[in-house]
Amino acid sequence: MISKPNSDEYPPYAAGYVNAVPEGADVLQLLADNQAFTYNLFHNMSEEQAMHAYADGKWTLKEVLGHMIDTERVFSFRAFVFSREDISLPGFDQETYVNSTDFNSRTMQSLAEEFRAVRQATLYLYRSFSAEQLGHSGVASGAVVKVAALVYITAGHEIYHLNIIKHRYL
């Protein structure tokens, strides 16, 4: 089981994500369990529901899922690279990523399938890390982050968005 990281093992912006993971949770099992929940939530939405935004200027549910997919790719890539070498990687602007892709032109089912595939790849990667690799770190967006922390950040990011969906979209 991967231990919850200390606050000096990830950037301050990620504290909310790390702390969203329940105390004592098996973070890899949580990622696996949430894969099915998130997939089913989105896969079973109508196209009309998927195009809903809770306010002007906010993302549609398709864009939220697209953002979740993009972000998981970024976090897992950082974990992959940092597990192999101590390096610095640039940050990414979530607004630029969402605005540079037309998630709304895709079907919700195709986005849900992509989410499921990305999560499966993430789980294979995260499960492959040795204890030593989980302790490696690198710099992303100008801040030091450990590989183990990225596992928690990935899980917490999903929880964060599921909570927003629950309270503002559904």
The enclosing domain of 101 has a CATH number of 1.20.120.450
Q: Give the confidence band of 92 by pLDDT, cuts at 50, 70, 90.
A: confident
For all residues of the chain together, what is the average pLDDT? 97
Strands, E, within the chain: which ranges?
A: 88-89, 137-140, 143-146
Q: What is the H or E stretch that residue 100 is in?
A: none
State pTM to two decimals: 0.96
* pLDDT score of 61: 98
For range 153-166, the mean pLDDT: 98
| Distance in angstroms (rounded) separating the CA atoms of residues 61 and 88 | 32
Confidence of residue 52 (pLDDT cuts 50, 70, 90): very high
Q: Is residue 74 part of a domain?
A: yes
Q: Is 68 inside a domain boundary?
A: yes
The pLDDT of 146-161, averaged and rounded, is 98
> Would you say residue 11 lies in a domain?
no
Query: What is the tally of structural domains in the chain?
Result: 1
Strand partners, 88: 139
In a domain, 104, yes or no: yes
Q: Is residue 5 part of a domain?
A: no
User: 21 falls in which pLDDT band (50, 70, 90)?
Assistant: very high
Q: Is the pLDDT of residue 27 over 90?
A: yes
Res 130: pLDDT = 98
d(CA 160, CA 66): 15
Stretch (H or E) spanning 53: none
How far is residue 96's CA from residue 67's CA, in Å, rounded to a whole number?
10
pLDDT in tens, 101-149: 999 999 999 999 999 999 999 999 999 999 999 999 999 999 999 999 9
Q: Which domain holds residue 105?
A: 27-48+58-169
Q: Count the Cβ atoms, other than its own, within 10 Å of residue 59.
A: 22
- Whether residue 22 is contained in a domain is answered as no
